[in-house]
């Protein structure tokens, strides 16, 4: 298709950009990480949503090269971020196709070596679609990645089709509460909700819980009261260009 050939051209010419959204510790309100979010404009300079171009990149196999570019760019920018806030980690979304590529571990260790950063700077966000979480295959891969020092987050937690039976075998570090469960939090509804349940589950299984899509102070306070560890969302900051992020970091 037209869009696919433009997408390929863009990769050759490095026409993608990354935006960074701060991830905040809900107790200290300090930044602990940033999530890299890929952006693309077509030839007519129209922004195309990643919900459109990421699936296209996946169908065409381009996602492997694009994913590698994202890793390299994000880790390169991390140096500038850490020159202001030394402990900030970089979270990168990894498509199921990348994760299941036999070369994935090599891609990760190469990216770390190229950027000259250690594995504990990097957080890999995967979804339940990578395979059967808790299965020997997936857990062995996660364990090998963790030996590089990287952290693993389960993104969009609760929106997939997995059962919960894998949680006690899971070699991940974090659960990310999908923003759909945060946006439906209602200040007048103090009873249990799905976000509440995910926070309890995560804490029981010694996983860090991070809520995404926090847009109001009421949502922030409710999540904090439930014991949610971290959050990101428009309440703190929308995704920022690297320059705007550096300015934001200088001010906070
Ligand atoms: O902020 P937002 O509209 O950017 O993201 C929309 C969707 O695109 C999210 O599901 C997000 O995980 C995904 N996405 C954004 N950037 C990347 C990326 O670099 N790689 C992958 N695989 N997905 C991404
Ligand atoms: O699936 P993933 O978690 O990677 O996607 C993150 C998506 O959520 C991105 O599209 C990002 O732009 C978007 N996002 C980040 N903060 C907020 C928020 O507070 N509200 C809404 N509606 N979307 C958000
Ligand atoms: Mn994500
Ligand atoms: Na999500």
* Weakest-pLDDT range from 117-131, 169-183, 191-205: 191-205
Cα dist from 160 to 36, 163, 169, whole Å: 22, 9, 18
Measured in Å, residue 126 CA sits from the centre of ligand 4 at: 10
Task: Please report whether residue 115 resides in a domain.
Answer: yes
Task: Please report whether residue 231 resides in a domain.
Answer: yes
Task: Please report whether residue 189 resides in a domain.
Answer: yes
CA pair distance 172, 155, nearest whole angstrom: 11
Taking each helix axis from N to C terminus, what angle separates 136-147 and 104-115, rounded to the nearest 10 degrees?
10
Measured in Å, residue 152 CA sits from the centre of ligand 4 at: 14
Q: Which residues of 218-250 are buried (b: 16+ CB within 10 A; e: fewer)?
A: ebbebbbebebbbbbbebbbebbebeebbebbe
Task: Please report whether residue 248 resides in a domain.
Answer: no
Q: Which domain holds residue 130?
A: 2-243
Task: Please report whether residue 250 resides in a domain.
Answer: no
Query: In this predicted structure, what is the pLDDT of residue 11?
Result: 86
Q: Identify which of 115-119, 162-166, 178-182 has the greatest average pLDDT.
A: 115-119
CA pair distance 117, 60, nearest whole angstrom: 31
Query: What is the CATH number for 152?
Result: 3.20.20.450
For residue 38 and ligand 1, the question of a CB distance below 6 A is answered with: yes
What total number of domains does the chain contain? 1
Q: Which residues lie at CB < 5 A from ion ligand 4?
A: 155-156, 178
CA pair distance 160, 177, nearest whole angstrom: 12
Of the two residues 134 and 84, the one the predictor is more confident about is 84
pTM: 0.96
Residue 40 · residue 50 · CB < 8 Å: yes
For residue 33 and ligand 2, the question of a CB distance below 6 A is answered with: no
For residue 239 and ligand 2, the question of a CB distance below 6 A is answered with: yes
Q: pLDDT by residue (tens digit) across 21-73? A: 999 999 999 999 999 999 999 989 999 999 999 999 999 999 999 999 999 99
Quickly state the pLDDT bin for 79 (edges 50, 70, 90): very high
* ipTM of this complex: 0.97
Task: Please report whether residue 143 resides in a domain.
Answer: yes
For residue 184 and ligand 2, the question of a CB distance below 6 A is answered with: no
For residue 21 and ligand 1, the question of a CB distance below 6 A is answered with: no
Measured in Å, residue 170 CA sits from the centre of ligand 2 at: 25
Q: pLDDT by residue (tens digit) across 229-252? A: 999 999 999 999 999 999 999 998
Q: pLDDT by residue (tens digit) across 107-126? A: 999 999 999 999 999 999 99
**For the CA of 178, the nearest atom of ligand 2:** 3
Task: Please report whether residue 45 resides in a domain.
Answer: yes
* Weakest-pLDDT range from 11-15, 56-60, 164-168, 194-198: 11-15
Query: In this predicted structure, what is the pLDDT of residue 191?
Result: 55
Q: pLDDT by residue (tens digit) across 188-199? A: 665 568 999 999
């Amino acid at each position: 298709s037209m869009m696919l050939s433009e997408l390929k051209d863009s990769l050759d010419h490095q026409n993608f950009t990354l935006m960074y959204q701060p991830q905040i510790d809900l107790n200290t309100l300090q930044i602990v990480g940033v999530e890299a979010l890929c952006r693309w404009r077509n030839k007519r300079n129209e922004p195309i949503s990643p919900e459109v171009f990421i699936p296209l990149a996946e169908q065409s196999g381009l996602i492997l090269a694009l994913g590698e570019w994202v890793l390299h760019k994000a880790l390169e920018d991390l140096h500038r971020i850490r020159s202001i806030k030394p402990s900030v980690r970089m979270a990168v979304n990894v498509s199921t196709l990348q994760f299941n590529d036999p070369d994935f571990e090599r891609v990760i260790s190469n990216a770390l070596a190229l950027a000259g950063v250690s594995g504990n700077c990097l957080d890999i966000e995967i979804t339940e679609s990578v395979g059967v979480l808790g299965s020997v295959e997936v857990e062995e891969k996660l364990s090998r990645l963790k030996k590089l020092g990287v952290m693993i987050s389960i993104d969009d937690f609760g929106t997939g089709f997995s059962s919960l039976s894998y949680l006690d075998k899971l070699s991940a570090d974090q659960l990310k509460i999908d923003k759909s469960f945060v946006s439906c939090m209602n200040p007048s509804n103090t009873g249990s909700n799905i976000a509440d349940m995910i926070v309890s589950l995560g804490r029981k299984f010694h996983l860090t819980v991070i809520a995404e899509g926090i847009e109001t102070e009421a949502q922030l306070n409710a999540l904090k009261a439930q014991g949610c560890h971290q959050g990101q969302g428009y309440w703190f900051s929308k995704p920022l260009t690297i320059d705007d992020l550096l300015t934001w970091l200088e001010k906070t």
